[in-house]
Amino acid sequence: MPTSPIPSLDFGGDGPSLLFLHANGYPPACYRPLLARLARSSHVTAMLQRPLWEDSRHEDIHDWTSFSDDLLRFLDENESRAPTTVLGHSMGGTAALRAALRQPQKFQRLILLDPVLLPPSFIALWNIALTFKFAHRLHPHIASALNRRREFDDLELLFERYRDRPTFKYMDDNALRAYIQGITRPKENGGYELIYSPEWESRVYYASIWRDMDLWRALPKLKIPTLIIRGAETDTFWESTARKATRLNPSICVKTIESATHLVPLEQPQEVFEIAQKFSSDLVAK
């Protein structure tokens, strides 16, 4: 277990503190269009999750509870600027939810962007897949993450190549360039390389949801004001999942954004910002 303080990035801004948690494979800089908007009314800090630590080992991760442990440790290390809001995307949203269920006193509100919260039936299927060792065939991204290209000569050529991919169809050029700049860094001998290790990305997918029945059991007890923003075309936080979550806990607010997928904060940063702002403003007004 690393003992040095958990690293973070300061995206600036004035106002109440907002802590951001990124998704698997998406370093915080990928979200600059959204984080810049949030910094208009908040002081935005992004915690670097374990795959982005210099001294971390992907072999040490067996489930996602470690990411919630890390978040709680980060909040302990930064008690002087305890956040009014924790906002997380995908894996980051799930980590925030589990941490808030464990220690709710550390959180004032949650904004979860298409969190990884799948139905109990799918969790059971995933556990069977892990038991019989065919999870790598069931999950669409485990193998593809390991096969991801790691080095690039020219980011403009990469932009042109990505511009035609269906995955990025809802990202405008500004968002796509922010994504490309966010996932890469210059190499000493020229060119660029991935910041986020493919080994880490694949391992996180593999270790993902098998313990998530604890989230469903605890969800009715969640008292923290919680907003979930999902993409209408997401393959992660399904419409049926949204209905189940709000049935278990009617105080949870779910908003759906059209022309958006699981990558909703990168695809529709203005709409995500406006929904998040209204949610926070309405809470203050109460």
How far is residue 213's CA from residue 203's CA, in Å, rounded to a whole number? 20
Q: Residue 284: left if φ>0, alpha if ψ -120 to 50, beta else—which one?
A: alpha
Q: What is the mean pLDDT of the chain?
A: 92
How far is residue 264's CA from residue 29's CA, in Å, rounded to a whole number? 15
Q: Establish if 3 belongs to a structural domain.
A: no
Q: Establish if 1 belongs to a structural domain.
A: no
pLDDT tens-digit profile of 102-120? 999 999 999 999 999 999 9
Cβ atoms of 256 and 228 closer than 8 Å: no
**Max CA separation in the chain (angstroms):** 56
Q: Establish if 164 belongs to a structural domain.
A: yes
Q: Establish if 167 belongs to a structural domain.
A: yes
pTM: 0.94
pLDDT tens-digit profile of 65-83? 999 999 999 999 987 666 6
Dihedral over Cα of 156, 145, 216, 60: its sign: negative
Cβ atoms of 30 and 266 closer than 8 Å: yes
- Domains: count for the chain: 1
Q: Establish if 91 belongs to a structural domain.
A: yes
How far is residue 153's CA from residue 123's CA, in Å, rounded to a whole number? 40
Cβ atoms of 119 and 240 closer than 8 Å: yes
CATH for 114: 3.40.50.1820
| Structure token digits, residue 122 | 């799918």
Q: Establish if 133 belongs to a structural domain.
A: yes
What residues make up the domain containing 185?
Answer: 8-285
Residues of the chain with pLDDT under 70: 1-3, 80-83, 132, 135-138, 286
How far is residue 178's CA from residue 68's CA, in Å, rounded to a whole number? 27
